[in-house]
A and B are shown apart, each in its own frame.
Chain A
């Protein structure tokens, strides 16, 4: 068991608890940067996908995991970011970086505008309002054909930064590094927010709105900020997603994607940045795992590998059901428990993480 002795308040504030932790994350970053030298183009594409979903996951994690506002409609914001970025580049001729930044900001503004009328809604009502929003945006994309290309959709413009081509298919390695850079910047910003007053205000409104107000936290303002920040990040994920898919239409941003995004962060572990990454990894690995499983079954039984429609979502759903029942804190929670088990060995007690139960009282009275 490692003990880090604290000698100044900075110890609690800085990003890493100690040098050991910092070096572990540094190693991870070095590994991530070096990945294109090891993997082929197809696998790098897959990893890029995981990174983009991790960005989207962080966007939703901020809102749902930290500020406690459940959104079942974040595909709508992915769509706003994606289309805004494509339109800004194609129609307005903005360079990639400017268009990318602006697309995120625009999505953030849309998020705040939407938060204002719905911030009074709680839990399930907020979930359903955002779900409706996702359905609406799906149809609006089709209706706004002059801008969005309707059901045919749009094609992502090519990316060049400072004369260097960074396209998804032309140079998958450089596109991967671009996504990695975005991931690192967003993660850093997210961490900074969490250790600053704003992050504490998010957690406060998640845990108790009444108490948070008594401490001077303005609910409307804080929720709008959470929505805005969350949509900013999600918009960026959407912009990258457009490049990732190359061509996209409304079907990329269905309500099912919204739901999967939420399920993804739950699998990863709600309430932690790690969770967004683990969730994206699990979601990214399911199709590969199913492929491998199918090949294996084909080998064993000897019949032709039949594609079963809906298998992916079915497996995904099943994994999630098992997580909710047996490990509600997701992959991150599980890993943390294992780590603590080894650190404390042999003093780990079964009850160390016993879940607290409470009796439900209605929010309706009558």
Chain B
């Protein structure tokens, strides 16, 4: 069974159709990329899966169970983590604290034991801290561990946001343009991390990305959206030679139009 299954989803904002009859499914352990020009509905799709917006028609299933009756805060405990296109970190907190929020759904200590900070609460804090430390190790964030987000360079914030999603130990992570705004070198690092997230942590990845180099390097399958419609779905190589894709992205037409 597919891990995530999106069926015939349509979303309209006012008169604009953001998504029209979009269907696809993501298999466990896959790196699945969504590409398309600006305004193609990629972010809307992410917001739908993380439940920040409602579809007009269609169904979204996780492990065969509909998630449309769930609310945004439920998604973390279902194992869906995400990052944001414009980076949405907790600006006044340190990197460490940001990552620790990722552990929120795994908290166990009762309210009372938090208020008196019982030994159990302390043990739990240390356990969370160890989990976060593994993420810090994984993403090489040691240097900025104690720093506030507000003073960090853009590239580091991007990585911290990925780290915050990983701290959740999700089953599937949605990366919204993980490499946008990064330098060539940072972008290359991000590419390795994305492959490692799957290889070492076994997390399924669904990502929106403009950088076709990165997409073809890491993804198993690519979904191409344009104006809210699916125009191609397949391996990076298949998709790149697809006539409609060439038309939508580059304006190249194989057959001259009348």
Contact = CB atoms under 8 A, between A and B. Distances in A.
A, B from the same assembly: yes
Interface of A: 9-10, 12-13, 189, 192-193, 195-198, 200-201, 203-204, 206-208, 210-219, 225, 271, 356
A215 B92 contact: no
Given A198-B111, A212-B101, A12 B90 contact: no
A189 B116 contact: yes
B126 A9 contact: yes
A298 to B, nearest CB: 47
Given A210-B52, A210-B84, A217-B73, 13 more contacts: A9-B129, A10-B122, A192-B116, A196-B109, A196-B114, A196-B121, A201-B104, A203-B97, A204-B90, A204-B101, A207-B90, A214-B76, A215-B104
A122 B108 CA distance: 29
21 contacts: A9-B129, A189-B116, A192-B114, A193-B114, A196-B117, A197-B104, A198-B114, A200-B101, A203-B92, A207-B92, A207-B93, A208-B88, A208-B89, A208-B90, A210-B52, A210-B88, A211-B88, A211-B89, A213-B72, A214-B50, A271-B92
Interface residues of B, number: 43
Interface residues of chain B: helix, strand, loop or mixed (majority): helix
Nearest to B113: A196
Interface string B39-51: 0000000000010
Interface string B89-115: 111110011001111110101010011
B50 to A, nearest CB: 6
B125 interface: yes
A271 B116 CA distance: 21
B120 to A, nearest CB: 11
Q: Nearest 4 pairs between A and B by C-beta?
A: A216-B76, A196-B114, A216-B105, A207-B90
Contact of B130 (A9, A196, A197, A210): A9
Contacts of A195: 117, 125
Most chain A CB neighbours (cut-off 10 Å) among B88, B117, B125: B117
Nearest to B78: A216
A218 B88 CA distance: 17
A213 B115 contact: no
Contacts of B74: 216
Contacts of A216: 73-77, 104-105, 168
B125 A214 contact: no
Interface string B134-152: 0000000000000000100
Contacts of B84: 210-211, 214
B26 interface: no
A12 B88 contact: no
Nearest to A225: B111
- Of B50, B92, B114, B168, chain A has the most CB atoms within 10 Å of the CB of B114
B90 A203 contact: yes
Contacts of B104: 197, 200-201, 204, 215-217
Interface of B: 50, 52, 71-77, 81-82, 84, 88-93, 96-97, 100-105, 107, 109, 111, 114-117, 121-122, 125-126, 129-130, 133, 150, 164, 168
Contacts of B168: 215-216
A81 B116 CA distance: 23
Contacts of A193: 114-115
Nearest to B91: A207
B111 A200 contact: no
A195 B96 CA distance: 12
Contacts of B96: 12
Contacts of B102: 215
B64 to A, nearest CB: 22
A290 B89 CA distance: 45
Contacts of A212: 90, 101
B101 A215 contact: yes
A215 B93 contact: no
Given A192-B115, A210-B52, A200 B105 contact: no
> B72, B91, B102 — which one has the most chain A CB atoms within 10 A of its CB?
B72
Contacts of A206: 92
A198 B124 CA distance: 13
A218 B92 contact: no
A66 to B, nearest CB: 10
Contacts of B125: 9, 13, 195-196
